Amino acid sequence: MKLTYAQKFVGGMIGILGLSIAVNIGMITLAATSNDGLVTEHYYSNGLRYAEQRAREMDRPGWNVSIEAPTVAERTAPFVVTVSDHQHVPLTGATATLKLYRPTKAGYDQLVPLKETAPGRFEAQVKLPLVGLWDTTVAIEKGKQAYDHLERIRVEAPRS
C-alpha cells in the first residue's frame, strides 16, 4: 500500500507534535528534579539576621579594603586582603575570615581564616576548583568594630 502525499504530511505533523510533547515533558521533569544550587541552607535564620547584617554594612568603620584574588582555577594561590583605616594607616590587630561561594552552584563554598602576615595584610592559600564567577565576603573584626567586604571575582581556566 502506497501512502499519499496528504497521509505523509499528516503523519509528519503528528510526529513533530509528539516529539515536541516528549521533549517538553523531559525538560519539565529535569527542571523539577535537578538542584540548581540556589537554595540557601538555613534561609529562615539568615532572613532574621538580614537587618543586623545590613546595619553592619551601613555602619562601615571607614576602612579601605582591597583584595588580590586568584585568577586561575584548579591551582592553589594566595588570596591577599589589605586593610587600612580612613587615614590609610594599615589596620593591625584585626581578625579576618574569607568566605568564597559560587552564586550558581552549591557544594563548593569555602570558609577560610586569613592570617595577618604584615600590618594590614591578611593572606591565605586557596584553591578555586571551578571556572567562572565567585562571590567573596571578607569579614573583618577589630574590637567592637566589624565590616563585611563583598566582591565578585572571575576565575579563568588554566592554560596548558
Quote the pTM value.
0.66
If one compares 25 and 46, the residue with the highest pLDDT of the two is 25
Q: Over the stretch 43-90, which tens digit does the pLDDT of each residue have?
A: 788 778 877 777 666 666 788 899 999 999 999 999 999 999 889 999
User: Residue 79: beta bridge partners?
Assistant: 124
Residue 63 per-residue DSSP state: -
If one compares 42 and 20, the residue with the highest pLDDT of the two is 20
Contacts of 147 (CB under 8 A, 6+ apart): 56, 57, 60, 61, 63, 65, 139, 140, 141
CA proximity to 98, closest of 83, 73, 81, 82: 81
pLDDT at 35 over 80: no
